[in-house]
Structure 1
Amino acid sequence: MPTALITGITGQDGLYLAELLLGKGYEVHGIVRGQNNPKRDLVAEVVPEVTLHTGDLTDLSSLMRAMSATQPDEVYNLGAVSFVAYSWDNARVTTDVTGNGVLNMLEAVRLFCGSDPTRTRFYQASSSEMFGKVQEVPQRETTLLWPRSPYGVAKVFGHYMTINYRESYGMHASSGILFNHESPRRGPEFVTRKVSMAVARIALGLQDRIVMGNLDAQRDWGFAGDYVEGMWRMLQQPAGDDYVLATGETHSIRELLDIAFSHVGIEDWSDRVGQDPRFMRPAEVDQLIGDASKARDRLGWRPTVGFDELVHMMVDHDLSVLRAAR
């Protein structure tokens, strides 16, 4: 039975990945920050077979203890301060966790592996936000990185540090450059979930309007459950490498609103959506669209859930939660 260790297991990707690995017969362990982390209960509810360990990406000793306790064959580093807007308010915290945390995890894996650098395979959750002010459309593994947020800058550091450890120490280390991926498990602070929750509430008469930022920003959105399959496939390859995971389609926030409102029978949402400069980024990333041909050709990976289906899935979930709470 292979063993996997996941940081960031309380997030949407961590939960979907844990489910995937358990289904494949893995023994799965997760690292959570703080002994009384309120999200421990969520993990216990969704994936009760997972064993949790206390650790912190900013504390190398805690990561080394987790490595020693779990003896993992695979490590998936999904932990990060992942909300881009927050990164401008707390650039230092974002840098420490999302950037330096990768270095700490890589070092913990390297020290654990000792004389056999490929004993444990490592996955780093890189991000399409690294492309920022895009220099090529679509973006691929070789596209110049030009991040436009503290979060993006921190992800670039972790990305290149993963490459450096792979090339310097011979580690089996891969980076997944994942474009936006969503699900009903997405946090409510993210735009897709903000929209799905608000549309559900508006449909049920629980609120009147939603206030947004830039409605013209375009993203390449996929389903998180598909993307964790790509993570696993990367670590099954004979050597580590970098892979873009994306749908190759781009959609605007306006399209997201169109599909979500239409799904609940509201065709004209113009009087239900406002805009506020407070929700605008200081430096906007206008368009992201990925070229996942390398992942398709080498990993056999393809997204299975389309954009409309994804939005419907999220709205339906939030409708069911609200109805159950009545």
Structure 2
Amino acid sequence: MSTPGRAFITGISGQDGSYLAERLLEEGVEVHALAHELEPLPDLPGVELHRGDLTDIDRVRALLLDLAPEEVYNLAAISSVARSWEEPDLTAQVNGLAAGGLLESARQVQDKHDRQVRFVQASSAEIFGDPDRSPQDESTAVRPVNPYGAAKAFAHLLVDVYRRRGLHAVSAILYNHESPRRPTQFVTRKITSTVAAIVHGDAETLTLGNLDARRDWGWAPDYVDALVRAARADQACDYVVATGVAHSVRDFVAAAFGRTGITDWKPLVSVDPGLVRPADPTELVGDPTLARERLGWSPSVGFDELVGRMVDADLARLNRPAGSSGSGRTRS
């Protein structure tokens, strides 16, 4: 497929949305994005921002029918598993029902303009929940264990429904992926920002929940590259996007402190049982074979370097003069 003329992105103020917008703009694509009505507008020169709420399906549909994009990337979501337990109803609406509305909108654009629209749903490894095998691939049973995963599973299954109706629809099953743009409410940024604060003398300890939980962590720009490749592939199908290697939260902590030269970090870390999730998969690790074989995709940044880049960025933020801007695009 040639480079599209126009693309539409939801979730533009999050980590992946900013990287994706930058990638498309570099390619010369006209980028339009939905910015939530209650959030500050992200600083993304070159992106045409449209105020709205993804759950207002009729309004978003009218916008999409007017813009008639060739590619649609749905990245918007209640992106925190912990928040999904606090607001399960909203999570179902945003992560599930609104995604379904966007799929139908893309299909209507395709029918109205009689040309193909390519749709990419940012799914999550949380749809597998408590998997029956490891690593997981595209054929692994969908069995979520939290409201976030359940809502994502609904959208994931709808992708196949719309693919059968002729839409080039892809569900990219993204495993954990990080960068300095990750918001601090995520455990990875909490770790790297607190380690930086400890080194800087602004904090004394790092408090976490389950140190034994294991995840497959990758570099966010790599995963955005997979989204674009999936959108433009000749055949629409679902892809697991992962590194194939799992690490524990403890490994992440050790790598973060190690970047600063601290090897004896255990006295600096405490565990709060109250931070353990009600239902938390012990290990999620993906098999990216299909993405490698069909998309030519592979991760470019290893685990230690990923963690190190995040620590370096948080140290740099603390070393900036007071009042300077250094928070980056970290809203979800």
Do the aligned partners of residues 252 and 117 (structure 1) sit closer, same or farther apart at CA in structure 2, a change above 3 Å counting?
farther
Distance 1:248 1:15 in 2: 25
Matching residue of 2:56: 59
CA distance in 1, matches of 2:106, 2:59: 12
SS of the residue corresponding to residue 107 of structure 1 reads: helix
In structure 1, how many angstroms separate the alpha carbons of the residues matched to 2:78 and 2:115? 28
Matched, 1:13 2:9: no
1:197 aligns with 2:199: no
Greater shift, 4-13 or 256-265, is seen at 256-265
Give the equivalent residue in structure 2 for 1:73: 70
Query: What is the number of equivalent residue pairs in this alignment?
Result: 319
Counterpart-to-counterpart distance in 2, 1:60 and 1:241: 25
CA shift at 1:117, angstroms? 7.0
Equivalence map 1:1-326=2 (5 Å)? 2-34=5-37, 37-38=39-40, 40=41, 43-44=42-43, 47-114=44-111, 119-167=116-164, 169-326=165-322
AA paired with 1:11?
G
Whole-angstrom CA distance in 2 between matches of 1:5 and 1:113: 14
Residue 101 of structure 1 aligns to a residue whose secondary structure is helix
What is the CA deviation profile of residues 25-55 of structure 1, one whole-angstrom value per residue up to 9, with x for unaligned ones?
1111110110x521x1xx32xx300000112
- For the 8 Å contact 2:215–2:248, the answer to whether it is kept is yes
SS at match of 1:235: helix
**RMSD between aligned alpha carbons?**
1.2
What SS does the aligned partner of 2:267 have?
coil
Of all paired residues, the percent bearing the same amino acid is: 47
CA distance in 1, matches of 2:63, 2:240: 29
Task: Look up the SS of the partner of 1:247 in the other structure.
Answer: coil
**CA deviations over 1:233-279 (Å, ceiling 9, x no partner):** 01111231100110011100111011101111211111111111221
Structure with more relative contact order (C-alpha pairs < 8 Å, separation 6 or more): 2
The answer to whether the Cα contact below 8 Å between 1:110 and 1:117 also exists between their aligned partners in 2 is no
CA contact (8 A) 2:213 2:248 kept: yes
Residues in 2 aligned to 1:312 and 1:216: alpha-carbon distance in whole angstroms: 20
Are the counterparts in 1 of residues 65 and 108 from structure 2 also a CA contact under 8 Å? no
After superposition, the C-alpha distances for 1:116-161 in whole angstroms (9 at most, x for unaligned) are: 6762110001100111101111000000111111000000000001
Of 110-119 and 134-143, deviating more is 110-119
Superposition deviation, residue 98 in structure 1? 0.5
Q: Gaps spanning 5+ residues in structure 2: where?
A: 323-332
* Runs of 4+ off more than 6 Å: none
Question: Unaligned regions of 5+ residues in structure 1, if any?
Answer: none
With normalisation by structure 1, the TM-score equals 0.95
Bigger mean CA offset, 12-21 vs 61-70: 61-70
1:69 Cα deviation after fit: 3.5
In 1, Cα distance between the equivalents of 2:284 and 2:309? 23
The 3-state SS of whatever aligns with 1:271 is: helix
CA contact (8 A) 1:55 1:66 kept: no
- Distance (whole Å) between structure 1 residues aligned to residue 66 and residue 314 of structure 2: 38
> Is the 8 Å Cα contact of residues 178 and 245 (structure 1) preserved in structure 2?
yes
Bigger mean CA offset, 52-61 vs 307-316: 52-61
Tell me the TM-score normalized by structure 2.
0.94
Instruction: State how far apart, in whole Å, the 2-side matches of 1:116 and 1:152 are.
Output: 34
Deviation at 1:68, TM superposition (A): 2.9
* CA spacing shift, 1:273–1:147, aligned 2, 3 Å: same
SS at 1:20 equivalent: helix
